[in-house]
Amino acid sequence: MASHDRFRIVGGTSLRGEVSVTGAKNSVLKLMAASLLAAGTTTIRNVPDIADVDIMADLLTRLGCTVVRGTDLVTITVPQEPAHRADYDLVRKMRASINVLGPLVARVGLADVALPGGDAIGSRGLDFHIKGLESLGAKAHIEHGYVIAEAPNGLVGAPVELDFPSVGATENIMTAAVLAKGVTTIDNAAREPDIVDLGEFLISMGAKIEGLGSPLITITGVEVLQPTDHTTITDRIITGTWAFAAAMTRGDITIHGARAEHLELPLEKLASAGAIITSTADGIRVKMDSRPQAIDVATLPYPGFPTDLLPMVIALNAVAEGHSLVTENVFESRFMFVNELLRLGAKIRVDGHHASITGIPQLSSAPVMASDIRAGAGLVLAGLVSDGVTFVEGAYHVDRGYPQFAEQLRSLGADVTRVD
């Protein structure tokens, strides 16, 4: 365990002030993996200062790349012949490691990638990834805890239809198809901003891709790609977290770097809870003057309500006026978070995919445990609307998604520190 692995939160503060949102974790890790597609030096900018970036850098280093981290950028020099094995000791720390699968199969015709660990959020099967690569002519199977994919004679473009718009599968099929012979279509493709960002990154390397942000992506394979220089989009989940934090604590936060168009539904929901949301020159301002009104939410793939903001919605509803129903349609174990909120006195009943919440004016402090990145952030926010002092264990989870979270909260007037 890292030292200072608990947050100590003194409740009762309204968050007021300004924050800046960094590059998106879910985008930058995928961009780093995709840099494997071109020999030479690729530069990625607006890189967040989070542990997962270091883990991905380690993984790429083992695959033969030279990775250098600057202040908010990373340069990756990729060899002509990258290695093809991603070991369990790194992959287990971070699910995004699976994103080297597509690029390696495309570049070297072989990939051995350990089955990922990372967050404790349900099974998130890799079937979609494997089926997709098989459609392009790869042979793939799972053996001794590794996904082994081979395409010694190269990949061939084909129509791929996803049963579910899986982000990871869309990414792996896209990064494999850019070097395949002929045309690949991905039907029921994920539409997340991260997919669009990755697609634009690939296009800047010389890939031919149409339909980004729509359910049908068309990729025409090319023979070779060139390294590139790309700036990552800002993190919509961090933006959403700050927006919910302002609403829950009846605060007033100006969020620099926020892209409202990536969060249309969450911001609409916050407005219906009573928040006043305005555009600023480089982001948004979220202000809340009264106790929030309860909001019903059902998570869905983008442009639906993001599952990653579910803990923030439940925490808001726990102190809102009225009853609400929150439905999780994406990840099955997301409600582990609810058990911790119950310890803080929240009134929540879970039935399968649904949580029924009755708001109370204030939660009551207790020690709680973070099970993943977003649950951790949600519990810290819940601590801010509890009486007394709340301790959240498992702070290292939060570090994986929120750079300098305690420092940013303190800059907004909260009494939040890291303790052993």
347 burial type by CB count under 10 A (0-12 exposed, 13-18 middle, 19+ buried): middle
CA distance 284 to 124: 33
The answer to whether 89 is a known catalytic residue is: no
What is the end-to-end Cα distance of the chain in Å, rounded?
10
Residues 6+ apart with CB under 8 A from 57: 32, 67, 69, 74
Distances in whole angstroms, Cα of residue 44 to Cα of each of 24, 47, 148, 233, 236? 12, 7, 28, 11, 18
Catalytic residue among 52, 112, 119, 194: 119
Q: What's the CA gap between 349 and 339, in Å, rounded? A: 10
The total number of residues shown for the chain amounts to: 420
Residue with tokens 């099955």: 332
Which helix (H) or strand (E) segment holds residue 196: the answer is: helix 193-204
Cα angle 273, 250, 238 (rounded to 5 degrees) comes to: 80
Active-site positions? 119
